[in-house]
Amino acid sequence: MSLNMIPIIIIFVGLLLASSSCSYSTPNNTSYYKTLTPTSPSLSHDSPSPYYSPLLNKGKKKPPPTPPLPPPQPIVTPFEYLKIVQTWPTSFCKFKKCIIPPPTTWFTIHGVWPSNISDPQPRLCTKEKIDWSTFSSLVSMTDLRKYWPRLDTAVRNDDLFFWSEQWDNHGTCSSMHPPDFFNLAFKIYHKKELKTILQNEGIIPGGIKPETSQKIFDTIETGIGGFKPQIECLRVQNKDYLYQIKLCLDKTGDKYKDCPGPLIKCPMDVYFP
């Protein structure tokens, strides 16, 4: 190598070193600008869209919630007519250990019984039970306690047990669910007020003289439109007391009909205490 070439080589090496110090080294697969990609959150049915725009969604409404399924149809059980049995509490309490004081100012419901003209009578027809968690929102508990009270202290100290017993024995044979059965019972009960019917003909509770059972029967028959009721009495200490009045209706509970015999289970003279 000639001496004349040495300065040229030195200049070339210097240029190479200057170029190396000014360069950037980047790893593979690395870019200078990060691409921004919007993330898509997982959406549920209840969360709004992240791209919701009031202008684009104006006028749109959320779909209504799916309604609950209706209850299954009740089991249809055969019977021929309905019978509402009403009790005069003062007479009841003369032969039973009774709640004191009893509601003595009106006849109370003993039960509504799906019935047949001849035996056997329907009873304990299905295993459906009252759902008390929803029952009170569908049936007036105030009316139950007022017009369908538990009178006999021997029937456990529990109103729900008494009403459950009536449902199990008779309501299960009505081809209805419990709320419908009890509401129908109140509808039938309020069609006619038996005490008022009797009082309008001078048959007043608490009288010291007896009334004839035939007069009581005829008064009730006229008061419900000429249909034959059943009346029942109890004998306590050599006296006979008007105890229960039973009215018969068609299977829907809309129309009265004649009750089958026997119609008067009372002697000639009875007391209405």
Beta strands 230-236 and 264-265 are parallel
Is 230 among the residues known to form the active site?
A: no
Query: Tokens 């509770």 map to which residue?
Result: 205
Is 177 among the residues known to form the active site?
A: no
Q: How far apart are alpha carbons 186 and 148 in whole angstroms?
A: 9
Number of H helices, E strands in the chain: 8, 8
Is 45 among the residues known to form the active site?
A: no
Which of these is catalytic: 45, 73, 86, 170?
170
Q: How far apart are alpha carbons 156 and 161 in whole angstroms?
A: 7
- Residues 6+ away with beta carbon under 8 Å from 239: 271
The size of the chain, in residues, is: 273
- Residues 6+ away with beta carbon under 8 Å from 154: 96, 97
Q: How far apart are alpha carbons 174 and 131 in whole angstroms?
A: 17
Which of these is catalytic: 86, 166, 230, 244?
166
Phi, psi of 110 (to 5 degrees): -85, -45
Q: In DSSP terms, which residues pair with 33 in a beta bridge?
A: none
Q: How far apart are alpha carbons 163 and 15 in whole angstroms?
A: 108
Catalytic residues: 110, 166, 170
